[in-house]
Amino acid sequence: MIAQLLSAHSDTLQQAVSANQSRLYYSHWQESPSKKFYGETAATDGEQAFKQSLNTAFNRFVQAGTTAQIGEEESPYGFTLGVTYPFVPTEVLISQAHSAGQAWKRLSAQERAVVLIESLEQASKHFFEIAYATMHTTGQGFAMAFQAAGPHAFDRALEAIAVGYYAQTATVAETTWTKTIGGGEVHVKKSFRVVPKGIGLVIGCSTFPTWNTMPGLLASLVTGNPVIVKPHPKSVLPIAIVISAMQRTFSAYGLDPHLVQIAMDSSAEPRTLELAEHPAIALIDFTGGAFGNTIEAIAHKHGIAVFTEKAGVNAVILESVTNLDAVLDNLAFTVSLYSGQMCTTSQNFFVSRDGVLENGTRIPYDEVARRFAEKIRGLALNPKMGAGVCGAIQSTVTAERLQRAQSLGLPVVCASEPIAQPGFENARSYSPLVLQANTDQQDVYEQEWFGPISFMIPTENFEQSVALLVRSLQRKGALTTLVYTIDSAQRSHAEDAILFEGKTAIAFNYVGNIFVNQSAAFSDFHGAGANPAGNASFADLGFVVNRFNVIGTREVLA
Amino acid sequence: MIAQLLSAHSDTLQQAVSANQSRLYYSHWQESPSKKFYGETAATDGEQAFKQSLNTAFNRFVQAGTTAQIGEEESPYGFTLGVTYPFVPTEVLISQAHSAGQAWKRLSAQERAVVLIESLEQASKHFFEIAYATMHTTGQGFAMAFQAAGPHAFDRALEAIAVGYYAQTATVAETTWTKTIGGGEVHVKKSFRVVPKGIGLVIGCSTFPTWNTMPGLLASLVTGNPVIVKPHPKSVLPIAIVISAMQRTFSAYGLDPHLVQIAMDSSAEPRTLELAEHPAIALIDFTGGAFGNTIEAIAHKHGIAVFTEKAGVNAVILESVTNLDAVLDNLAFTVSLYSGQMCTTSQNFFVSRDGVLENGTRIPYDEVARRFAEKIRGLALNPKMGAGVCGAIQSTVTAERLQRAQSLGLPVVCASEPIAQPGFENARSYSPLVLQANTDQQDVYEQEWFGPISFMIPTENFEQSVALLVRSLQRKGALTTLVYTIDSAQRSHAEDAILFEGKTAIAFNYVGNIFVNQSAAFSDFHGAGANPAGNASFADLGFVVNRFNVIGTREVLA
């Protein structure tokens, strides 16, 4: 039966491999939730499926060993989901994963890849349900929830499959080696087998329950490792839909569904450490905040591979532009989108005290700040757009952080206000706050202020902006930096310093419909893997090669 | 000038990349020390260069900061080398490495690769001198010293360059990404830069001062990292010749010679920990024994990549054969070659108590043991062959280990005797010792007995042999295993268990001129990287990708 999948999905696999290599635009799933692509009833079917799940026990898993049903999800739009999921004890999860891995690791890399593509195709039939589930666990607006949790997450998953397949097939699987020794020929038949590391643990986050979980999940699976997914207890449903669809696909193809299992916990009784410390865990993927340092320390202690995305502080430098209005439109969207709850959202804006050069004309700092605030409020508080772009605040902790920022006593560049979310009167939704910080207030702005909180930092000049940014990158790391300069010498200086000293990705002069907090599968590496914001990158070779070894068999032929 | 090297060496680079992929036989340097390849006077010139170095200060380095000259090398053939080398304080080495890396990391992967190939070509002009230097530091016989320290080591170095180049070029360096958004097209110019991890430290061993040092050295260099080499204080001269030739090549091409530096220490005042603990060290390569666990712990504490080859226990299972004589000839050579001082030499021989099946006829265990001993003594004590094949014992510690093994009180299968080394009456040279151990004496035979020491272990049957071997692999690891069976079911069982449970490479039915302790560059992965004998493999993708990151620059095009 897997043979059918080889013919069905080999083209997809090859296209994904090629896209990873060329970094050209590629997307396997349509990012638009249009009826044209998904059919007339897909949206309403998905919404209905979501609503039918509410206040029920989620019963689609093919996973043994359940001892209880637990769940604690609350929509940031103001209601309780009431969904419960199976709790399976850790030793049972480990034992089931180990058993499931036995046949899986003996498949070829290509067989694993096409089975996984099929599992994604099956799960993708639930895109609209996943979108509603994501909206009401993360607080994302519907359009973003659809894109980020559906097609974009699945493209990242396919990317991980493709990179993993590429790495496993970088050398031939079999050959006959011939050498002339002392006049005669010696022939040695050699084969090279992929041997996976063991059981993978993927620890999810609350804001991107599929997008940040699926790359590690698929990277471990394609390289032969069974996986246990420990979602954030407040954001389970989106990944539960994915995992259960994958389990059903495995079963349908005669494979053990426990290749991927869900490991539930609760805020009151977390089990991340219990799982991470388990000696059978051979790989850990983690997305979240500073707790990632603890996870890295555990992995280092055990000598196992760990892939993290942690806290970071993203920044923008504004120096010279051709169209300040277009720039500020772009930046206003960047800080508003999902209320700054993306790991890629810009937090700090370094702007020369002298202001910004627009085609040789200097726009004073105060005017830049004022116009930036106008743009943000014009978008976030726009009744037609603000609610959908900003969405809601996932966590009460983030809402409290916003309060704390407001009480710092810093000059307010752009005040935050509640945003009305039509139909959800109890939604936790606020427009972005921008404060002004002095260059020496690094104890404030070099912290990650996750959520709709940013800082404008007036600097002496461009060189100081670059120096302060590089200092921050070296100490705290980042996922994105964005520099506006139309001066080629300054551009080169910033690029060199940020890439080689700050070890962070850099974007220049973003305007229009493309934003620094978006990263495209198959083209943009997400995370440098080289600074304190995380050691992993979606999906470079390092993201896959540490999940397996290649071990050889040799035989002298007569 | 580097442009000239691009045209001179691009073919070599491509051939090496292809060979790594196909795993077919490939060698860039002639492994035979024949005049046909190396010229009429190469051998005598090399010997003379070696002799002229004796009792002098080695003065070929292009390396600043020397504060003293030190050296303590002793030939295992019985004389003092008296060569001294520059001692440079650690902070000076670090500072010089850091400076040297600045221009180096900004070259392209291809530029670095061809400069490094040129540096190998220049160093290869010293093959005969390296051979004598290796013979008289490691104790290897001349023929082996030539092959292992010259062409074979250099092929492994070229392999590391090629894998590093392949990994760095797995994605394009530049592209323009085009996406249709809302009816219009967005164009983003993207570039992807290799950003190296930092300064590499390569810690050498006493028995293979070039072969085990050069892969890590070249892997770090090709990926943009300057390297500090800390050789074993008893085996400096071979790698000093290589390093100085590389430094001179770098200088000749306008690059900083401190891209590779030698860090001397002494047995009395080792500095491995001082170097490994230095916060500027970002990568560590280590070859040696159990001390590698300490090195791994340091690297894990610092969260840096480490590549190790440590102690391991290699084993053979003898079950069924078509020609026992040919098998025992092969195994006698394996345990004799360089007196068992290869990390790949078989130590434990599991043989069923019932004996070995030869074409259906059972040869009793005692007869197998007796004939094995005869073969070993016939080779090692053969006046024409023994001295060259066995060479001398590198370290007094190994000679003492041989004494200790003899006093274990175990039944002697094959007694060890001194070997005469013509021309070197004080040589430390002994034929292999084989003892018999019971299956339950794991405290003895599951230890690594580095040197001319092995154990025959009579087992209940093949299944027990496999189970004992897998147990040993899981606890102690290994670089090689060798199984003799002509039964296909037993073969499958052993292969599956050793690959997937023992996570170690396996060879079957070796006879003739090919030996389990040899591993061929471009074809055999050396080390599985998956068991306690070490975490690295020469040279899989994991050996190179953890030495750099790929970080992107994006710019929206108007």
- Dump pLDDT digits (tens) for A204-214: 999 999 999 99
At residue A363, the pLDDT reads 98
- A155 with A193, same domain: the answer is yes
For residues A217 and A161, give the distance between their C-alpha atoms in angstroms, rounded to a whole number.
10
Task: Work out whether strand A281-287 and strand A305-309 pair parallel, antiparallel, or are unpaired.
Answer: parallel
Centre a 10 Å sphere on the Cβ of residue B283 and count the other Cβ atoms it contains.
25
Does any CB of chain B come closer than 8 Å to the CB of residue A329? no
Q: What is the 3-state secondary structure (H, E, C) of A353-382?
A: CCCEEECCEEECHHHHHHHHHHHHHHHHCC
Confidence of residue A183 (pLDDT cuts 50, 70, 90): confident
Instruction: Say which amino acid occupies B495.
Output: E
Whether residue B302 is found in the same domain as residue B347: no
A209 and A325 both lie in a single domain = no
Please list the residues that pair with A213 across neighbouring strands.
none
- For the segment A506-527, the average pLDDT, to the nearest whole number, is 96
Q: Which of residues 494-523 of A touch B (CB under 8 A)?
A: 495, 499-500, 503-514, 520, 523
Q: Which of A186, A529, A541 sits opposite B541 (nearest CB)?
A: A541
Domain range for B108 is: 46-311+537-557
Q: pLDDT class for A440, splitting at 50, 70, 90?
A: very high
Please, which residues have CB within 8 angstroms of residue A340's CB and are 6 or more apart in sequence?
A: A347, A432, A450, A451, A452, A453, A454
Looking at the fold, whether A470 and A352 belong to one and the same domain comes out as yes
If pLDDT is split at 50, 70 and 90, which confidence band does A548 have? very high
What digits encode the pLDDT tens for the residues A339-386? 999 999 999 999 999 999 999 999 999 999 999 999 999 999 999 999
Dihedral angle sign, alpha carbons of residues B267, B268, B273, B275: negative
Q: Do A283 and A244 contact (CB within 8 A), yes or no?
A: no
- Helix, strand, coil tally for chain B in percent (to 5): 45, 20, 35
In sequence order, the 6+-apart residues with CB closer than 8 A to the CB of B180 are B186
Residue B327 placed within a domain? yes
Average pLDDT, chain A: 97
Q: Which residues pair with B349 in a beta bridge?
A: B316, B456
Q: Are A436 and A366 in contact (CB under 8 A)?
A: no
A499: nearest CB among B167, B506, B551: B551
The pTM is what?
A: 0.97
- Complex-level ipTM: 0.96
Side-chain-side CA neighbours of residue B67 (13 Å): 9
Q: Does residue A225 sit at the B interface (CB-CB below 8 Å)?
A: no
Query: Chain A residues with CB inside 8 Å of B21's CB?
Result: 170-172
Query: Is B378 in the A-facing interface, judged by CB distances under 8 Å?
Result: no
Looking at the structure, tell me whether residues B246 and B340 fall in a common domain: no
pLDDT digits (tens, 9 = 90+) for B545-555: 999 999 999 99
At which residue do the structure tokens 């002697």 appear? B412
Residue B12 lies in a domain: no
Per-residue confidence (pLDDT) for residue A181, from 0 to 100: 85
* Cα of A22 to nearest chain B Cα, Å: 6
Q: What is the mean pLDDT of the segment spanning A409-426?
A: 97
Chain A residues within 8 A of B479 when measuring between CB atoms: none
Q: Look at strands B260-262 and B315-318 and give their pairing.
A: unpaired
- Give the model's pLDDT for residue B182: 78
pLDDT tens, residue by residue, A269-293: 999 999 999 999 999 999 999 999 9
User: How many domains does chain B divide into?
Assistant: 2
**How many Cβ atoms from other residues are within 10 Å of residue A11's Cβ?**
9
Contact residues, chain A, for B554 at CB < 8 Å? 505-508, 510, 524
Query: Which residue in chain A is spatially nearest to B538 when comparing CA positions?
Result: A550
Helices (H), A23-84: 35-38, 42-53
Whether residue A540 lies inside any domain: the answer is: no
Unique residue bearing structure tokens 């509410």: A54
Do residues A433 and A453 make contact, with C-beta atoms less than 8 angstroms apart?
A: yes
Residue A134 host element (H or E): helix A127-138
In-domain check, residue A330? yes
Q: Is residue A533 part of a domain?
A: no
Residue A1 has pLDDT above 90, yes or no: no
Quote the CA–CA distance of A149 and A208 in Å, as a whole number: 7
Average pLDDT, stretch A488-498?
97
A153 & A223 share domain: yes
Residue A558 has a pLDDT of 75
Instruction: Looking at the structure, tell me whether residues A305 and A353 fall in a common domain.
Output: no
**Residue A542 domain flag:** no
CB B414 within 8 A of CB B405: no
B7-53 residue pLDDT tens: 999 999 999 999 999 999 999 999 999 999 999 999 999 999 999 99
Please name the residues between 169 and 208 in chain B that touch chain A, using a CB distance below 8 Å. Answer: 170-172, 175, 177-179, 181-182, 184, 186, 188, 190, 192-193, 195, 197
How far does the CA of residue B556 sit from the closest CA of chain A (Å)? 6
Whether A123 and A79 map to the same domain: the answer is yes
Burial letters for B520-529: b for 16+ Cβ neighbours within 10 Å, e otherwise?
bbbbbbbbbb
- CA gap A205, A32 in Å, rounded: 24
Query: Does some domain include residue B34?
Result: no
Show which of A310, A337, A357 is a domain's final residue.
A310
How far apart (Å, rounded) are the C-alpha atoms in residues B390 and B339?
5
pLDDT at B361: 97
- Burial of residue B316 (CB within 10 Å: 0-12, 13-18, 19+) is buried
| DSSP letters for B374-441 | HHHHHHHT-TTTHHHHH---S-HHHHHHHHHHHTS-PPEEE---B---TT-TT---BPPEEEE--TT-
Nearest residue of B to residue A301, measured between CA atoms: B300
For residues B332 and B440, membership in a common domain is answered with yes
| Cα–Cα distances in angstroms (integers) from residue B88 to residues B127, B213, B229, in the given order | 27, 20, 12
Mutation test of the interface with chain A: which of B176, B486, B554, choosing the one with the most A Cβ atoms within 10 A? Answer: B554
Query: What is the CATH number for A341?
Result: 3.40.309.10
Are residue A134 and residue A216 in the same domain, yes or no?
yes
Residues B221 and B339 in one domain: no
Q: What percent of chain A has pLDDT over 70?
A: 100
Alpha helices in B315-385 (DSSP H): 324-336, 365-380
- Mean pLDDT, consecutive 10-residue stretches, chain B (558 aa), reads 95 98 97 95 97 98 98 98 98 98 98 98 98 98 98 98 98 96 90 98 98 98 98 98 98 98 98 98 96 96 96 97 98 98 98 96 98 98 96 98 98 98 97 98 98 98 98 98 97 97 98 94 97 97 98 93
CB B467 within 8 A of CB B521: no
pLDDT at A81 over 90: yes
Give the model confidence (pLDDT) of A392-411 as tens digits: 999 999 999 999 999 999 99
Q: B356 - beta bridge partners?
A: B363
Same domain, A213 and A327: no
Separation between Cα atoms, residue A498 and residue B157, nearest integer Å: 32
Residue B513 lies in a domain: no
